[in-house]
Structure 1
Amino acid sequence: MNLFNPYYYAVKLRNWLYDRGILKSYALDVPVVCVGNLSVGGSGKTSLVRFISNALSEKFHVAVLLRGYKRKTKGLLVASYRGEVKAGWEEVGDEAYMLSKVLKNSSVLVCEDRVLGGNFAIKELEAEVIILDDGFQHRRLKPDLSIVLLKEGDLKDRLLPFGRLREPLSALKRADAVVLSYQDVKEWDLTLEKPVFKLYRTNWRIVSADGKIVDHKDKTFVAFSALGDNGQFFQTLVKLGIKVEKFLSFPDHYHYKNFVLKKEKLYLTTLKDFFKLKPSENLFYLDFDLRVDGLLGFIINNIRAGSSAGRATDS
């Protein structure tokens, strides 16, 4: 089918130009860890960025760099500095705002020009490690380590516009490590000639607007989300035995401008969606921890190896 897909040839040409140095990639003066995927959303990327950022921030000042998808602004904007929120979600985008709210020791910034944003983070924010969120296809900024999340469904999916893949599976050759998502929903495996890690979501909890963990046994919710793959969220609620009277599915990055909470109902959503709504006593979000055995050690070892080998900026 790729033979009849113009998008396939555009992706192939772009990668060919970067592989041969015709289009330039630029390195930064600190380690850059890229966290990306092959499909259009729904792979757990933002959760993994949160997981890695929290771990690395114990030793480094981490700056998370995003494009700021569907924000109302342009250019470079600091979403948070060392945990202090500097902008609203409409200014920096919902993912950047969510990360700025939950990452207490890291900085978060958005910029369409990732090279510009990365250099700003180093010079002005004194970042020691850059985490490039959703940067696997953004090849202008050269990562020191590329981590790609993969869903089991990606193995049988097709390229845009016929499917949800942004690149074919062969693009995994550029990755330094692959993380197999949603093992808690269904365990699956994949053998590759590079490190492969498995992502489990654990310690599920329902949290109220004031940050308290609540017991859901006697509660029934209206569940809603606006993710790249809403089905994963709804499937998780069913598996956890959370009572849901109605599921509401919205497009990814939905703005919720005309969404009204009925006082007599209880609402349950994701962390990203929760922060786009005004706090309410009948609004809750589902949160969790991640377990990815071996990944953090792999990242830290590679960061140290890259630092000891010296760094040079490609200009």
Structure 2
Amino acid sequence: MRVKLFNLWRKFSFFLLPFSFLYGIVVVLRNFLYDHRVFKIKRLPKPVISVGNIIAGGTGKTPFVEWLAKYISSSGKKVGILSRGYGRKTKGFFLATDGKRILATPEECGDEPFQMALKSVEKNFGWIVAVCEDRFEAGIKVLENYDVDVFILDDGFQRRDLHRDIDIVLFSGDEINEFLIPAGLKREPLFSIKRADVVCFRNFDDKESFKKYFPREDWIICNFGYKLLEIRKFFDYILLEKPFEGKKILAFSGIGKHTSFIKLLKDNNFEIVKNFEFPDHYNYSGKDIARIMEEFNSSGAEFVITTEKDYARLYGMKELRNFPFFYAEIEVEFYEGEDELKQKIAEVVR
């Protein structure tokens, strides 16, 4: 139903353009007031690195945050990840993990923070993951109980009330032709990217035109994508060994870009006999799983594959342990700019 409503909105979104114009005025005015310090900007006593974008969903922020947290923690630094916890059924501050234990459910902290908390505990990264509408409040509460060397803001580009030492914006190219909310998915005008310190292009080839449009000498420009790290079975954490060529699968996801997930699987030589697209942050029901299993049984597929984010949402359905459900774990792959980004991080995180 939500997918049909989304498609219907896309079809008639042109009529919402006057509201997008008004929304744009408000956003520009808000940024102007922050830029000129009319609105107060708070500062945490530890360095803050923000990862965000200007479009609602779809650029792969969570895996990028995970790469950043993994890189920083590998140098012995203690990482705290602060998120709003989009889609959660709670309000206020929640600690998803203290780096050793899972302390919240996906419903309490949101699917993406839960995904990061799960990875932190499983792989002994020691990340502290907290959610709160007020990221400054979350940071202060974390520091009251834990030693943190650096904070990472998940989806923090629009969080203007909190000082950040590095502002990283992910850019996929979809932003160029997208309208502002509510006629489109763009949260800010394209020129807002000038606030960023680092621009990371996700499989976007026209960087030179972008640089001409936004000339900045001090920008760090990266180009990146995502590669398949491994396929793991729900709950059992059994690595499914490569090669994947010719393996017939049923795929499903509830993420911003289902097509990117399908392309990743095809690039790794899976034969997709059936796939389902659900809305981003979708909360699966027993009926949804029954439908997937019904299609699986009639499709001739060998197993079912979804994303790590969907696995986080399905973590409470322990009965899936007995079914051939797997999830794809991905990681960032840089094509250029990785060394410059790491140097920038080293200047802040000492």
TM-score norm. by structure 2 comes to 0.81
The structural deviation recorded for 1:80 is 0.3
Distance (whole Å) between structure 1 residues aligned to residue 43 and residue 284 of structure 2: 38
Task: Find the aligned partners of 1:98 and 1:255 in 2 and give their Cα distance.
Answer: 14
Give the distance between the partners of 2:342 and 2:118, measured in 1 at CA.
22
Q: Secondary structure at the match of 2:313?
A: coil
- The within-5 A match list for 1:163-174 is 163-174=184-195
Aligned partners of 2:20 and 2:179 also within 8 Å:
no
* SS of aligned partner of 1:64: strand
**Aligned residue among 82, 86, 91 for 2:99:** 82
- Cα drift, residue 231 of structure 1: 2.0
Offset of residue 188 of structure 1: 4.7
Structure 2 partner of 1:197:
222
Mapped to 2, the partners of 1:291 and 1:239 lie a distance apart of 15
Cα distance between partner residues in 1 of 2:145 and 2:259: 40
How far off is 1:93 after superposition? 0.4
Measured after TM superposition, the shift of residue 203 of structure 1 is: 4.5
Unmatched segments (≥5 aa) in structure 2: 1-16
CA shift digits 1:243-286 (9 cap, x unpaired): 11112111111000232252735211100101222343411111
Letter in 1 for 2:41: S
Per-residue deviation, 1:208: 1.7
Q: Which residue of 2 aligns with 1:310?
A: none
TM-score, structure 1 length as denominator?
0.89
Name the count of aligned residue pairs.
301
1:227 aligns with 2:245: no
User: Can you list the C-alpha shifts for 1:83-136, whole angstroms capped at 9, x where unaligned?
Assistant: 421111111000000000112321100011111001112222221111011011
1:62 aligns with 2:79: yes
Larger CA deviation: 206-215 vs 104-113: 206-215
Query: For 1:115, what is the secondary structure of its paired residue?
Result: helix
Deviates more, 1:30-39 or 1:151-160: 151-160
Match of 2:113 in 1: 96
- Matched letter for residue 269 of structure 1: T
2:132 aligned partner: 111
How much does 1:157 deviate? 2.1
Alpha-carbon offset, residue 149 of structure 1: 0.3
Give the aligned partner of residue 267 of structure 1. Answer: 304
Per-residue CA distance 1:215-258 (angstroms, 9 max, x = gap): 43353222111112222212222333211111211111100023
Q: Which amino acid aligns with 1:273?
A: D
Residue 33 of structure 1 is matched in structure 2 by 49
Aligned residue for 1:301?
347
The answer to whether the 8 A contact 2:19-2:182 is kept is: no
Structure having the larger proportion of residues in helix? 2
Partner of 2:275: 247
Distance 1:269 1:276 in 2: 11
Greater alpha carbon shift after TM alignment, 272-281 vs 98-107? 272-281
Q: Tell me, yes or no, if structure 1 residue 130 matches structure 2 residue 158.
A: no
Distance 2:137 2:186 in 1: 27
How much has 1:162 moved relative to structure 2? 2.2
Identity %: 33
The offset of 1:37, in angstroms, is 0.6
Question: Compared with structure 1, are the counterparts of its residues 3 and 70 closer, same or farther at alpha carbon in structure 2 (3 Å cutoff)?
Answer: closer
Indicate the RMSD between aligned Cα atoms, in angstroms: 2.0
Larger mean Cα displacement after TM superposition, 239-248 or 250-259? 239-248
User: Aligned runs of 1:134-149 on 2, under 5 Å?
Assistant: 134-149=155-170
Q: Secondary structure at the match of 2:288?
A: coil
Distance 2:246 2:191 in 1: 48
Unaligned runs of 5+ in 1: 305-315
Cα distance in 2, alignment partners of residues 3 and 80 from structure 1: 40
> Counterpart of 1:276 in structure 2: which amino acid?
R
Q: 1:268 to 1:3 in 2, by over 3 A?
A: closer
Paired with 1:122 and 1:91, the residues of 2 have a C-alpha distance of: 21
